[in-house]
Chain A
Amino acid sequence: MFGKTENAGVVHGLYTDGEPIADTKAPAGPIADMWRTRQFEAALVNPSNRRKLDVIMVGTGLAGASGAATLGEAGYNVKVFCYQDSPRRAHSIAAQGGINAAKNYKEDGDSVYRLFYDTVKGGDYRARESNVYRLAEVSANIIDQCVAQGVPFAREYGGLLDNRSFGGVQVSRTFYARGQTGQQLLIGAYQALERQVAEGTVQQFSRHEMLELIVVDGRARGIIARDLVTGAIETHVADAVVLASGGYGNVFFLSTNAMGSNVTATWRAHRKGAYMANPCYTQIHPTCIPVSGEHQSKLTLMSESLRNDGRIWVPKNREDCDKDPRDIPEEDRDYYLERIYPSFGNLVPRDIASRQAKNVCDDGRGVGPLVGDFRRGVYLDFSDAIQRLGAAAVEAKYGNLFDMYARITGENPYQVPMRIYPAVHYVMGGLWVDYDLQSTIPGLFVTGEANFSDHGANRLGASALMQGLADGYFVLPNTIRDYLAKGPFTPLAADDPAVAEARGSVERRTARLLEINGERSVDSFHKELGMIMWEYCGMERTEEGLLKAVDLIRGLREEFWRNVRVLGSADTLNQSLEKAGRVADFLELGELMCIDALHRRESCGGHFRAESQTEDGEAMRNDDDFLYVAAWEFHGGDGDGEMGTPVLHKEDLVYEAIELKQRSYK
């Protein structure tokens, strides 16, 4: 445990302290009344004025598609952008497990308050109470909306919706559509969006990537985007801009994110003045398919619903690690989660399941192929479940996941236990937003994974889909109108200095990436950055390691701008150029993540800080010193790859509706 010494980040001049954030704009009064109050107090926009107001939406995952569709239905003029060839391919589609909602259909004691409580507790008391309560409140409406759209949730024989318990909670509140809940919810939102495209309220720009934010007189007024097919640099202006551009887990190179998932939209906004909050809060998901070799381009997650019926174990003895698991007798197996956490067993939260898997592998008891000096894998065994329920029942529940596993590994999980290992999956950090989901730049709103507000230091299973749709369908459309009611703002000329500046910086940067013509590919830089992040800013962090990581990243970034090789031209489809721009931004983000991790000298949520642990090696949170959101302001550094010294603004977390407790799952 640290003493009351100066923070290493300050000592080494890596950041400076700024003014605290005083106001999150949540209405006063009891938490249960806040949302109703805000909906009432937020100004209305006359229906006939709405079509005069332009809104840009960047991203078409659950948050973006649902938000754009709803704003279109309301009558605003919406432009929606995605880098994919169709909005329906955004990475929300890959979410498997389910979506939480406080419907209490199972009459098992669930309620809005319990969902709120579980989310705050699961986030290890680093989320903002007011936002989370609202999330729980609107959760039930999401299910109604999705069912009305035709989302084919799992049903029981009576025709009613089925629920299951999921990822560390003891009530059954998770709605699901076999192993592809994300795809089915996204299809629902996508169809609602396409309906608005047909109605003419929404204009769709697919294969377009936002590369810069336009800020005029302190307000977000548009974006610069590149048409990825023709290479044309386009200017799009609006009265408000919404970023629903997802998370930045790909800073680790290997993650469960899509190949194209990136930080560019939010990072460009950060450089223009939007604070980035808790960037080091990364979720490492326990049930992914282990790395098989150096060629690996991404990791594949398997829904943690598998933990409902699968039992996790490793051999008790190191010498058994390369044996056929079926030949290892029961008494030589260590069902370590059931042993350490008897009441939660295999259903402990994600961070605990991940860290314990790392611990047993570090102990030399991992299984599967050697990666470096260690075997990085643990068994997830369904033999008990198959015996209890029958293979057919297991197949009905998990069939597509088992098929996916078999296809990737070449092994049959009905016969041999699966092997799993943690992988980067989700980032809780993101752009700082107030209660209205507005960033520190007026007119710039941020929804879904791209913002930071609801999941604290660790996200509960089946909550990402809930948050994306809550923000898009119900929260943003109500809060953004308060801002839009002040518009329409002064029309912008194409030669407005702010527009010309944004456009010019995109053109210069694109040209420069193509001119360097060095020796190394974009991927080689990305992989090296990923290894630095995983090693020093992954599941376990130390002061020494993080300081080293900052140095390594700075060196790598300097080399990137000198030695990267991007072939081809700027005026056609050029996937290397797209990647180069994204990796350039990851190389800046990575540094800020390490500085954030360095400054946070406590273990909390998914982040184990080696210097802050209890005697028996469990994470030790430090509420006295770190009960706040770290919101970072970009400061200095004009050129490409140049960063100044970030300024730390603290938003104190106040818990009034929930009692602050040290989390224990023992």
Chain B
Amino acid sequence: MNLTLRIWRQAGPRHQGELRTYKVKDISPDMSFLEMLDVLNEQLNAAGEEPIAFDSDCREGICGTCGLMISGEAHGPEKTTTCQLHMRSFSDGEVITIEPWRANAFPVIKDLVVDRGAFDRIIQAGGYISVNTGSAPDAHATPVPKRNADRAFQAAECIQCGACVAACPNASAMLFLGSKVTHLAELPQGQPERMARVVKMVDQHDAEGFGGCTNVGACSQACPKGIPQDVISTLNFDLRTALRGNR
């Protein structure tokens, strides 16, 4: 198939960006979206134009590195990561607009690459269980009911890609935050720091410039791992409990 691509080009963080139009030909429906961009980059390189910078690493949908706004949708039309999106989801002659994640907390580095360092700093604020190496009890010492273990796992599936932020009209990271809070709150090991954790993480989230949650639900719709919106309910519940406790 032949496609017209409108792609965001921006030379650096302080440069003005613009959408530029490119054509690609003979794209196979079995290609992944990023392989289609590889083909374009080879074309550009041959023509002497600097290739388009975009992030990707594992290309199997688990590392969370890739992420593009594709015709206005985070990760494009399917519920998956950009690297796992295949060209069979598009049709011949289509015009596709490709932009980076848009959020104040994710500044553009170059072209389609953004800085998601804010996520690391939110985890640093409290997204862990404090246990030094070597001090753990036997793994079977604390049984975890399967229901809790399963919900913890579901929340822990978050790959930290940032699609939730990109999709949210408020550029809120509450789905990301809620998934980490829920993962650790569902486990007995996460209880001792549960209340302190949620407060510190929410404070960091706000300090990074992410917006607030207004229950739009676009985050969960865009999430390639299908993290349900109710992790935000758990987050809010824990935050209320923690703040009451501190009064």
Residue B119 contacts which of A86, A259, A572 (CB distance < 8 angstroms)? A86
Please give the number of chain B residues whose Cβ is less than 8 angstroms from any Cβ of chain A in the complex: 78
A424, chain B: closest CB distance, angstroms = 14
> Whole-angstrom distance from the CB of B5 to the nearest CB of chain A?
16
Is A93 on the interface with B (CB-CB < 8 A)? yes
Please give the distance in Å from B198's CB to the nearest CB on chain A: 15
Q: Which of A140-148, A356-364, A606-614 contacts B (4 or more CB under 8 A)?
A: A140-148
Query: Does any Cβ of A come within 8 Å of B159's Cβ?
Result: yes
CA distance A105 to B138 in the complex (A): 11
Per-position 1/0 for B100-139, Cβ under 8 A of A:
0000000001100101110110011101111111111111
Known: A297-B35, A567-B49. A105 touches B146 (CB 8 A): no
B128 and A194 contact, CB distance less than 8 A:
yes
Q: Are A195 and B124 in contact (CB under 8 A)?
A: yes
Nearest Cβ in chain B — how far from A411, in angstroms? Answer: 11
Q: Which of B1-52 contact A (CB under 8 A)?
A: 11-12, 28-32, 34-36, 38-39, 42, 45-46, 48-51
- B55 interface residue, CB < 8 Å from A? yes
CA distance A192 to B63 in the complex (A): 18
Interface 1/0 per residue, B47-70 and A, CB below 8 Å: 011110101111111111100000
Say yes or no for B240: interface residue by CB 8 A criterion.
Answer: no
Find out whether the CB atom of B63 lies under 8 angstroms from the CB atom of A258. Answer: yes
Contact between A404 and B60 (Cβ–Cβ < 8 Å)? yes
Given A260-B57, A404-B61, check contact A410 B153 (CB 8 Å): no
Q: Which B residues touch A94, using CB under 8 A?
A: 58, 60, 62-63
Task: Indicate which residue in A150, A154, A158, A256 contacts B189 across the interface (CB closer than 8 Å).
Answer: A150
Question: Cβ of B149 < 8 Å from any Cβ of A?
Answer: yes
**What distance in Å separates the Cβ of B207 from its nearest Cβ neighbour in chain A?**
14
Q: How far is the CB of A209 from chain B (nearest CB, A)?
A: 13
Known contacts A91-B57, A150-B187, A293-B28, A86 near B120 by CB under 8 Å: yes
Name A550-605 residues within 8 Å CB distance of B: 565, 567-568, 572-576
A204 at the interface (CB under 8 A from B): yes
Say whether B144 faces chain A, with CB atoms less than 8 Å apart: yes
In Å, the complex CA distance between A85 and B117 comes to: 7
A89 touches B57 (CB 8 A): yes
Are B127 and A183 in contact, CB atoms less than 8 angstroms apart? no
Q: Are B59 and A204 in contact (CB-based, < 8 A)?
A: no
A89 B63 Cβ-Cβ under 8 A: yes
Across-interface contacts of A297 in B (CB, < 8 A): 32, 34-35, 38, 59
Contact B120 A73 (CB under 8 A): no
Residues of B within 8 A of A565 (CB): 45
Contact A295 B38 (CB under 8 A): yes
A198 and B57 contact, CB distance less than 8 A: no
A152 CA to B146 CA in the complex, in Å?
Answer: 10
Contact status A576-B124, CB under 8 Å: no
Shortest distance from the beta carbon of B182 to any chain A beta carbon, whole Å: 11
Q: Which of A150, A206, A298, A410 has the most chain B CB within a 10 Å cutoff?
A: A150
Cα of A204 to Cα of B119 in the assembled complex, Å: 14
A194-B129 CB under 8 A given contacts A160-B143, A180-B157, A410-B86: no
Is the CB–CB distance between B124 and A148 below 8 Å? no
B140 engages A194 (CB within 8 Å)? no
Q: Mark A288-302, 1 if CB is under 8 A from B, else 0.
A: 000011011110110
Task: List chain A residues, Cβ under 8 A from B131.
Answer: 145, 148-149, 192
Asked if B184 is an interface residue, CB under 8 A from chain A, the answer is: yes
Contact at A573–B183, with CB atoms within 8 Å? no
Q: Are B56 and A197 in contact (CB under 8 A)?
A: no
Q: Are A144 and B45 in contact (CB under 8 A)?
A: no
Q: Would you call A144 and B86 a contact (CB within 8 A)?
A: no
The answer, among B30, B56, B61, for a CB contact under 8 Å with A410, is B30
List 11 additional contacts besides A70-B133, A85-B116, A152-B149; criterion CB under 8 Å: A70-B132, A89-B63, A150-B129, A157-B146, A178-B153, A180-B157, A194-B120, A204-B120, A206-B120, A295-B30, A404-B84
